[in-house]
């Protein structure tokens, strides 16, 4: 049985366990997970109706996109002038309890669901649970996505010079990664932040021109065959211009390593966060660690599981997420070190392999 059939089977078993007869999936990433097909809804309705008893799926989609599922599942289409209500009723048919993604669908679509004559309830984390644990094909894809970001850092590291701007380096990374077959260019996330701009965890690359001694924070992703990698490394141009940055770099690196060392099945997500946070707090910078330790990674760049202080989720083999502690000092700069992690039977595997030693990232020019 191929991976997609197994995923649909697992989804149907989980729906039945939760008491649902059918479900309507709208999140494009969850549709991709179950069918292998990527869709872009724009403003139109797309809904994958999963029949738990029949272990089958049918897509309701606009007629303008007939054939979008490429024969993987049956399609029932609707005209823009008619709207999707009749098609939804036709496909759902008789149903006692219907699961829907209330976080995804609009209130207008919700009214259609509630007019179907059955009990409607939120699907909760049914599909999210399945997506958290990756199968072999997903792991292989994510490993290659990590290879792309590793090689991108190696490619740009000897090309950065004083006077280059954040935006120029941003585009250099993008242009390099786009040469890989399977790299998706429609969506990309690249943060290049120089000097004290690096103190903004989610800053935007701009016109700042690098100077000797600057820290250059690179936080970027490769979107490869619909799976994401995500890495952060900090480079130093010529030398480390501010000793405070060297100090916090050492602390953040120790936090990163402490969190990774904690990863194995049976450990709670909050314990991973605590391992990183304790290192930074004990060093006196706890208030400057401004975010969670990590986030899930896969078909979405941010998905479950969150590696946060309040997440009691117990880790299982196959889960994938980032570990990315950081310290941010306004007017000085910020340091974040991010790796992509796979939970294995006995511990973890690190997808990203770029060195984390500060001395390896002092760029000569």
pLDDT of 276-320, one tens digit each? Answer: 999 999 999 999 999 999 999 999 999 999 999 999 999 999 999
Cβ neighbours for 108, distance < 8 A, ≥ 6 positions apart: none
Q: What stretch(es) of the chain map to CATH 3.40.350.10? A: 3-130
How many angstroms separate the CA atoms of 266 and 347, rounded? 10
Evaluate if residue 187 carries a pLDDT over 90.
no
pLDDT score of 352: 98
CB 205 within 8 A of CB 192: yes
pLDDT score of 298: 97
pLDDT band at 179 (very low <50, low <70, confident <90, very high): very high
Does the structural domain 133-363 have CATH classification 3.90.230.10?
yes
How many angstroms separate the CA atoms of 290 and 195, rounded? 18
How many angstroms separate the CA atoms of 261 and 256, rounded? 9
Q: What stretch(es) of the chain map to CATH 3.90.230.10? A: 133-363
pTM over 0.85: yes
Phi, psi of 338 (to 5 degrees): -125, 135
Q: How far is CA 50 from CA 6, 109, 298, in A?
A: 14, 17, 22
Q: What is the dihedral of CA 329, 335, 340, 345, to 10 degrees?
A: -80
CA-based radius of gyration for the chain:
23
Tell me the CATH architecture of domain 3-130. 3-Layer(aba) Sandwich (3.40)
- Provide the strand spans (E) within 138-288: 190-194, 215-224, 227-237
CB 213 within 8 A of CB 236: yes
pLDDT score of 278: 98
If you average pLDDT over residues 151-175, what whole number do you get?
Answer: 98
pLDDT of 219-239, one tens digit each? Answer: 999 999 999 999 999 999 999
Evaluate if residue 1 carries a pLDDT over 70.
no
Q: What is the DSSP letter of 89?
A: H
pLDDT score of 80: 96
CB 179 within 8 A of CB 155: no
Averaged pLDDT of the chain: 97
Provide the H-helix boundaries in the chain: 3-17, 28-35, 85-92, 107-114, 126-132, 136-157, 166-177, 243-262, 269-282
pLDDT of 90-142, one tens digit each? Answer: 999 999 999 999 999 999 999 999 999 999 999 988 898 899 999 999 999 99
């Amino acid at each position: 049985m191929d991976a997609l059939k197994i995923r649909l089977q697992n989804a149907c078993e989980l729906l039945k366990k939760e008491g649902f007869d059918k479900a309507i999936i709208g999140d494009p990433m969850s549709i991709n997970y179950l069918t292998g097909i990527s869709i872009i809804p724009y403003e139109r309705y797309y809904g994958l109706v999963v029949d738990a008893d029949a272990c089958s799926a049918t897509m309701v989609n606009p007629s303008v996109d007939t054939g979008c599922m490429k024969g993987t599942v049956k399609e029932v289409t609707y005209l823009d002038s008619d709207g999707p209500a009749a098609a939804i009723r036709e496909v759902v048919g008789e149903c006692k309890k219907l699961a829907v993604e209330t976080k995804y669908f609009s209130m207008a679509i919700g009214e259609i669901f509630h007019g179907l004559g059955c009990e409607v309830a939120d699907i909760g984390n049914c599909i999210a649970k399945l997506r958290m644990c990756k199968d072999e094909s997903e792991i292989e894809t994510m490993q290659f996505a990590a290879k792309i970001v590793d090689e991108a850092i190696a490619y740009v590291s000897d090309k950065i010079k004083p006077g280059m701007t954040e935006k120029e380096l941003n585009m250099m990374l993008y242009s390099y990664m786009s040469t890989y077959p399977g790299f998706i260019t429609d969506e990309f996330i690249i943060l290049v932040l120089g000097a004290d701009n690096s103190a903004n965890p989610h800053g935007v690359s701009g016109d700042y021109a690098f100077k000797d001694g600057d820290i250059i924070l690179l936080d970027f992703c490769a979107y490869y065959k619909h799976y994401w990698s995500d890495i952060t490394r900090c480079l130093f141009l010529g030398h480390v211009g501010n000793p405070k940055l060297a100090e916090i770099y050492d602390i953040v690196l120790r936090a990163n390593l402490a969190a990774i060392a904690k990863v194995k099945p049976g450990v709670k997500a909050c314990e991973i966060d605590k391992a990183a946070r304790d290192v930074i707090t004990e060093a006196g910078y706890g208030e400057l660690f401004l975010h969670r330790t990590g986030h899930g990674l896969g078909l979405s760049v941010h998905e479950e599981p969150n590696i946060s202080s309040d997440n009691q989720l117990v880790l299982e083999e196959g889960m994938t997420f980032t570990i990315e502690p950081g310290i941010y000092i306004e007017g000085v700069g910020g340091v974040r070190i991010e790796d992509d992690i796979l939970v294995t039977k006995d511990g973890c595997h690190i997808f990203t392999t770029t060195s984390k030693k500060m001395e390896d990232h002092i760029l000569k020019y």
